[in-house]
């Protein structure tokens, strides 16, 4: 067997998801039965300080050879880095991903990809013109469970899919009309593009898009009409957002729900019912577990007389590192694209990221949610405080 293709990663930012993702990169691919690609963490940057980047390297137990940088500019200039993982708040994604692309680096950028669809289009134009790989890090799409769902749909297991209802809500209601996040927290802070839609609604939309758009034949691809209801929090960010997406030619409806107040899984178990229901003429696929990290499918068809076929999907762990979160599958996809010279992932093509961002734009517009110019401009500025960290 030929040796695995190795990708050298640079990590941009040192927060919660950067840590989770990097620990996944460091797991052995064999622990998930992957043998064709592997990952190396060669550099980490923090806009706070070089020391913070060095601490991060120790904390995640990356090789001591990994370089620690105290600025994002130094990271993107490192010739040993093949691809940058952007793990800043969504407010920063456009400027940080542009910084990396502008420096000639491939990019995997956290969700939500940007604050506006215009920013997404600009990033994609830049990646295309510079012949670089660029992908939105919606990790859930690369789960074996998601692959199975798409196969079930395209094989006709539940007939034509007419409706998908998907919810990701996190139940952080607090007394006196408050939400249980400090106003400065990125979940509700408008300066950091906070709000339920961009942070969580993207997953509800991911299930609507996987089941009603991605699986449409290429020649019949149809963007949806959007009707949205949005409640705003006192910070200006959205707290509860409900969207109806209508695909008229396909006669299908998607209902994407998200809220910081109520919970899609109030018991954190499976008894509250599936938070995603994909409904076809011949049956239904239920996706159980949080929309970002689901763990079980229930397939109920007319043929099975209403009896559910239950399929469990465990997230494999590297026993030596005692770790495995499920973000490694998207990293494997990025590695395979780099190996094969593909600039975009077939599982989440650029065109689909644009349509999803357009739906989010339209939803925010209908709800009267606006974000500051600094984070919503689509003019790249290498010296933006979002790139220099001068807060
Ligand atoms: N795929 C997934 O499952 C998840 C994805 N996410 C996404 O990842 C992104 C980051 O989220 P998360 O890791 O939870 O956020 P954190 O607040 O934990 O980390 C964000 C990091 O970004 C850097 N940063 C730069 N400027 C700022 C600023 N003004 N305020 C705060 N941080 C700043 C900091 O790193 P430094 O100081 O080192 O530069 C900080 O540690 C978000 O876009 C979110 O949607 C989040 C959670 C789960
Ligand atoms: O992407 C995410 O998934 C998990 C959530 O807890 C988190 O807020 C969100 O950013």
Tens digit of pLDDT for each residue in 339-358? 999 999 999 999 999 999 99
Q: pLDDT tens across 129-163, in order?
A: 999 999 999 999 999 999 999 999 999 999 999 99
CATH 3.40.50.720 fits 5-140+374-388, yes or no: yes
In angstroms, what is the span from residue 292 Cα to ligand 2's centroid? Answer: 7
pLDDT tops 70 at residue 271? no
Q: For 112-128, what is the mean pLDDT?
A: 98
In angstroms, what is the span from residue 251 Cα to ligand 2's centroid? Answer: 31
What CATH architecture applies to the domain 144-312? 2-Layer Sandwich (3.30)
pLDDT tops 70 at residue 270? no
- Using pLDDT thresholds of 50, 70 and 90, give the confidence band for residue 268: confident
Q: Is 14's C-beta closer than 6 angstroms to any atom of ligand 1?
A: yes
Q: What is the mean pLDDT of the chain?
A: 97
pLDDT at 267: 80
Q: Is 292's C-beta closer than 6 angstroms to any atom of ligand 2?
A: yes
**Least confident span in 32-46, 130-144, 299-313:** 299-313
Counting ligand 2 atoms within 8 A of each CB, the residue from 88, 200, 259 with the most, and so the one to mutate, is 200
pLDDT at 293: 96
Higher pLDDT, 306 or 321: 321
pLDDT at 193: 98
Q: pLDDT tens across 182-237, in order?
A: 999 999 999 999 999 999 999 999 999 999 999 999 999 999 999 999 999 999 99
Q: pLDDT tens across 371-386, in order?
A: 999 999 999 999 999 9
Higher pLDDT, 76 or 304: 76
Q: Is 206's C-beta closer than 6 angstroms to any atom of ligand 1?
A: no
In angstroms, what is the span from residue 180 Cα to ligand 2's centroid? Answer: 15
Where do the domains of the chain lie? 5-140+374-388, 144-312
pLDDT tops 70 at residue 42? yes
Question: What percent of the chain stands above pLDDT 70?
Answer: 98
In angstroms, what is the span from residue 20 Cα to ligand 2's centroid? Answer: 12
- Using pLDDT thresholds of 50, 70 and 90, give the confidence band for residue 64: very high
Q: pLDDT tens across 90-107, in order?
A: 999 999 999 999 999 999
- Ligand closest to Cα of 264 equals 2
* Three-class secondary structure assignment of the chain: CCCCEEEEEEEECCCHHHHHHHHHHCCCHHHHCCCCEEEEEEEEECCCCHHHHHHHHHHCCCCCCCEEECCHHHHHCCCCCCEEEECCCHHHHHHHHHHHHHCCCEEEEECCCCCCHHHHHHHHHHHHHHCCCEEEECHHHHCHHHHHHHHHHHCCCCCCEEEEEEEEEECCECCCCCECCCCCCCCCCHHHCCCHHHHHHHHHHHHHHHHHCCCCCHHHCCCCEEEEEEEECCCCCEEEEEEEEEEHHHCEEEEEEEECCCECCCCCCCCCCCCEEEEECCEEEEEECCCCCCCEEEEEECCCCCCEEEEECCCCCECCCCECCCCHHHHHHHHHHHHHCCCCCCCCCHHHHHHHHHHHHHHHHHHCCCCCHHHHCCCCCCCCHHHHCCC
Q: Is 110's C-beta closer than 6 angstroms to any atom of ligand 1?
A: yes
């Amino acid at each position: 067997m030929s040796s695995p293709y190795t990708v050298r990663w640079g990590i941009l930012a040192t927060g919660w998801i950067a840590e989770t993702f990097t620990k996944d990169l460091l797991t052995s691919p064999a622990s998930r039965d992957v043998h064709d690609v592997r990952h190396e963490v060669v550099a980490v940057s923090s806009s706070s300080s070089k020391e913070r980047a060095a601490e991060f390297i120790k904390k995640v137990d990356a090789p001591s050879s990994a370089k620690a940088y105290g600025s994002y500019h130094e990271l993107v200039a490192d010739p040993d880095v093949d691809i940058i993982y952007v793990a800043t708040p969504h407010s920063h994604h456009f400027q940080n991903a542009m910084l990396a692309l502008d420096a000639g680096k491939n990019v995997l950028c956290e969700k939500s990809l940007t604050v506006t669809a215009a920013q997404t289009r600009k990033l994609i134009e830049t990646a295309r013109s510079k012949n670089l790989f660029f992908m939105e890090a919606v990790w859930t799409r690369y789960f074996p469970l998601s692959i199975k769902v798409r196969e079930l749909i395209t094989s006709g297991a539940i007939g034509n899919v007419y409706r998908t209802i998907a919810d990701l809500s996190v139940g952080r209601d607090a007394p006196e009309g408050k939400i249980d996040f400090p106003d400065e927290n990125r979940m509700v802070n408008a300066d950091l593009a906070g709000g339920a839609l961009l942070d969580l609604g993207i997953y509800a939309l991911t299930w609507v898009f996987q089941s009603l758009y991605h699986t449409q034949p290429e020649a019949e691809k149809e963007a949806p009409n959007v009707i949205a209801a949005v409640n705003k929090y006192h910070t200006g960010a959205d707290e509860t957002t409900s969207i109806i997406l209508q695909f008229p030619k396909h006669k299908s409806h998607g209902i994407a729900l998200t809220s910081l107040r109520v919970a899609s899984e109030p018991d954190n178990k499976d008894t509250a019912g599936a938070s995603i229901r994909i409904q076809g003429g011949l049956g239904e696929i239920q996706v159980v577990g949080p929309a970002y990290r689901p763990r079980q499918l229930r397939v109920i068809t007319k043929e099975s007389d209403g009896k559910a076929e239950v399929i469990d999907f465990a997230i494999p762990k590297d026993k030596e590192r005692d770790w495995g979160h499920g973000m490694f599958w998207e990293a494997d996809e990025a590695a395979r694209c780099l190996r094969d010279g593909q600039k975009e992932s077939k599982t989440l093509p650029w065109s689909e990221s644009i349509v999803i961002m357009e739906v989010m734009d339209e939803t925010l517009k209908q709800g009267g949610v606006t974000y500051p110019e600094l984070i919503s401009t689509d003019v790249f500025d290498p010296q933006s405080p979002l790139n220099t960290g001068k807060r």
